[in-house]
Structure 1
Amino acid sequence: MNWPTPERMPGVPNVSIGSIKRLDGLTFHAIDPRPVDVWLPAGYPANAPYDVLYMHDGQMLFDAAETWNHQEWMVDEIAGALQQAGDVQPFIVVGIHNRSADRHAEYQPQRAFARLSDADKAAQLAQRRTLLDPLYRGDVRSDRYLQWLVEELKPVIDRDFRVSPLMSDTAIMGSSMGGLISWYALERYPTVFGAAACLSTHWPGGFPDGDNTLDDALLAEFEAGLPEPGTHRFWFDHGTETLDQHYPELQQRADQILKAKGYTDADWQTRVYPGADHSEQAWASRLADPLRFLFAKPQS
């Protein structure tokens, strides 16, 4: 797969609030190239320094006219409205596009995958959506994806935009497999990310009705890498329909890990949205909730 090529490069999204800057000249030593779009709120840079939210699946965030399913997270509308109302700290959003064939390999927490036996690893890597559509293309390589994000992308954001580089002002967010890579990013780089929002986290790791050795490995890795309470913050949520119907029991196991570690409402929230399915429209409908959690204004 050679995407993205110049003739197939996704268009720069149109936004209703604020503006988009597509980054040029990025280096990609650790992973294959892909677009990165930076959303700047209306009035930028008047409220500098801004917090930063890194988001996965960047092509799905801003403009339904550019997405494969004609849905979007409505990030510009929702984040823009929250900031204009003064409900949250000022922040920008860095949307990192996925490469669809590489998504599972880049978003699967690598240290969790390494916990599997060789036979279980082979079984996972052999999974296919269809005969011609493997779930993975190559080995799991999320550590390389995060290394690129932290070592190559973040320095560009810190240099070229009016932002705070501090861990306490830097968050990461994603849904489904993007939920997995978001908590994993915080645990792998706890001095870089202060908070993670994980929507509809795909705790099964693969097909929900398949071999469940991977979900045990994911939860074991989550527990092993969890920072001490009071230093970082986590948001988890899920709906109850379509793919999300498979998440409650596994999310409850993650919640028990957080509770046993000593996390409280101040640094951890798990929400259930009855009737919500596994889609960008569902994530857009509740996006304001994790954004308020991530970028809450300090209490006076």
Structure 2
Amino acid sequence: MAAPGRVAAIGRAAARAGLAALAALAGCGDAAEAGGAPRASGAVSAGGHSGGVGGTSVEAILDDLREDRDAALLSHAARTGWPVPVDGGYLFVSTSASLRLLAGDHDGWTGAEMTRDAGFHWIVLNVPAGARYKLTDRATWSADPWSRAITYDAFGEMSLVAPSAAHLDRHFGVGDAAMEPRTVRVWVPEGDVERVLYVHDGQNLFDPAGPAGGWHLQDHAPPGVLLVGIDSTTARLSEYTHVTDRIEDGGALIGGRGDAYADFVRDTVRPLIRARYGEPGPVGIMGSSLGGLISFHAADRHRGEYAFAASLSGTMGWGSIGAGVRHETMIERYAAHAEPAAALYLDSGGGGDCVDDDGDGVEDDDPRAADNYCENRQLRGVLARARSPYVEGESVFYAWHPGAEHDEAAWAARVAEPLRIFEAL
């Protein structure tokens, strides 16, 4: 039987994913920014409608928006990202009824009136690459929910125009026939990309306003590492598990869509990244809790495609949590390996007495155990055994952080270690 702490941790992770999905939808409205107006800095004169970067006809895009605003927003977000480069500069759009001014570095944060149209406002401005901007009514200041490039400062999210410095890109509505659309968030380093790391629960990774303060993953990013955060959805528990299991006594079997999710990362997300940024050097995959489980599953399912797989507090006993459930766990799968699937990192916080009272082969029956400590210790044991193809310190790395909680703050505090190992590959 599973320890109550483990079930609670899985439930909290699933709840966070659901709240994050709702928050993402809510963020497309007139959300007020607690910090007030941004500070004016690096201001330059507005370019107006002269000159520009060149691009698509403004009228053609406006016609798209008038015909089907939301579809056009998504379509042009996928093609070029917003704001869209057009003849004369960049086309900016606001779908808010009240945020009708566009302000930024280009005008000293004064704010230019946008043209009202059919369910949206728009303006074309010739602004320099890298300029910051927001939508405003001079009382509320909001980042553009459709801007491709963003960063974070003391006032929260900040929209950017075609930056060359390190920043975050967002790709909306990325899905396939099996996986529902979601946002993919990409930390783009300054300079050349040398390696790429795919990370799950993307909405928790970069935003300082994320759960428990988020991971602040960009603050730990080694030079040259492109970090690809793939948002989870309300189907997180199902997508991040390779088999079904039961987490409540008498409850239904749940989960088991991990094959489809791993294939989605390989066949949909990775081609997008290759097309936009390239995918040089070693490629890795990483996550926490169930995200750690699905990372090890993907590395095993697609052998040779990932040089590195990292799991922080991974739910490695999934498949044998519920009473009477006896499906393959990741502990058993990796114990059977004759060759390494990838270089592996695994860790946990928590602690406890690791016992197998129910005889199911998983040492998870101490009700006081926490943060998947016992399951990760057991997996480390099978990876480090004498006849294992994994070599500790070379192809498998393990860390225990006694008492650490099962949350983003704890993972943020130690994520630099797997990043350091990945950088050294």
What's the TM-score bracket when you normalise by the shorter of the two chains?
0.7 to 0.9
Alpha-carbon separation, structure 1, partners of 2:240 and 2:284: 17
The answer to which structure has the higher strand fraction is 2
Q: Return the alpha-carbon distance in structure 1 between the equivalents of residues 250 and 212 of structure 2.
A: 27
Aligned CA-pair RMSD: 3.2
Instruction: Compute the displacement of 1:207 (Å).
Output: 10
Question: Residue type of the partner of 1:268?
Answer: V
Q: How does 1:89-104 map to 2 (within 5 A)?
A: 90-99=224-233, 101-104=234-237
Shift of 1:159: 1.5
Which among 173, 177, 183 is matched to residue 29 of structure 1? 177
Q: How many positions carry a matched residue from both structures?
A: 258
Task: Indicate which of 350, 356, 371 corresponds to 1:240.
Answer: 350
The answer to whether the Cα contact below 8 Å between 1:57 and 1:97 also exists between their aligned partners in 2 is: yes
1:174-218 per-residue CA deviation (whole Å, 9 max, x = no partner) reads: 00001100101100011211110100111232896x538458633
Match among 281, 306, 322 for residue 193 of structure 1: 306
What are the residue-to-residue correspondences of 1:35-184 with 2, within 5 Å? 35-41=183-189, 43=190, 46-48=191-193, 50-65=194-209, 67=210, 69-79=211-221, 82-83=222-223, 90-99=224-233, 101-110=234-243, 113=244, 123=246, 136=254, 140-164=256-280, 169-184=282-297
CA distance in 1, matches of 2:152, 2:23: 24
- Structure 1 unaligned spans of 5+: 84-89, 114-120, 129-133
Structure 2 residue 334 is the aligned partner of structure 1 residue 222: yes
The runs of 5 or more residues in structure 2 that have no matched partner are 1-17, 29-144, 154-164, 353-367
Q: Which amino acid aligns with 1:249?
A: C
The Cα shift of 1:140 comes to 2.0
Cα deviation, residue 296, structure 1: 0.9
1:245 aligns to what SS in structure 2?
A: coil
Deviations 1:97-130 (A, max 9, x none): 001x3111000123xx4xxxxxxx5x559876xx
Whether the 8 Å CA contact 1:239–1:273 is kept in 2: the answer is: yes
Mapping 1:287-298, distance limit 5 Å: 287-296=415-424
What's the CA shift string for 1:238-265, capped at 9, x where partnerless? Answer: 1126997253332222122212313111
Aligned 8 A contact 2:212 2:407 in 1: no
Cα distance in 2 between the residues matched to 1:281 and 1:6: 21
Instruction: Measure, in 2, the Cα distance between the counterparts of 1:207 and 1:21.
Output: 39
Larger relative contact order, structure 1 or 2 (CA cutoff 8 Å, min sep 6):
1
Higher Rg of the two aligned structures: 2
Q: How has the CA–CA distance of structure 1 residues 215 and 251 changed in structure 2, closer, same or farther, with 3 Å as cutoff? A: farther
Partner Cα separation in structure 1 for residue 232 and residue 369 of structure 2: 21
Deviations 1:61-91 (A, max 9, x none): 01132x3x34211101111xx42xxxxxx21
Percent of pairs with identical residues: 28
Conserved? CA contact 1:239–1:245, under 8 Å: yes
Decide whether the 8 Å contact of 2:347 with 2:400 is kept in 1.
Answer: yes
Contact 2:201/2:229 (<8 A) preserved: yes
Distance (whole Å) between structure 1 residues aligned to residue 275 and residue 369 of structure 2: 39
Whether the 8 Å contact between 2:249 and 2:323 is mirrored in structure 1 is no
Corresponding letter in the other structure for 1:64: P
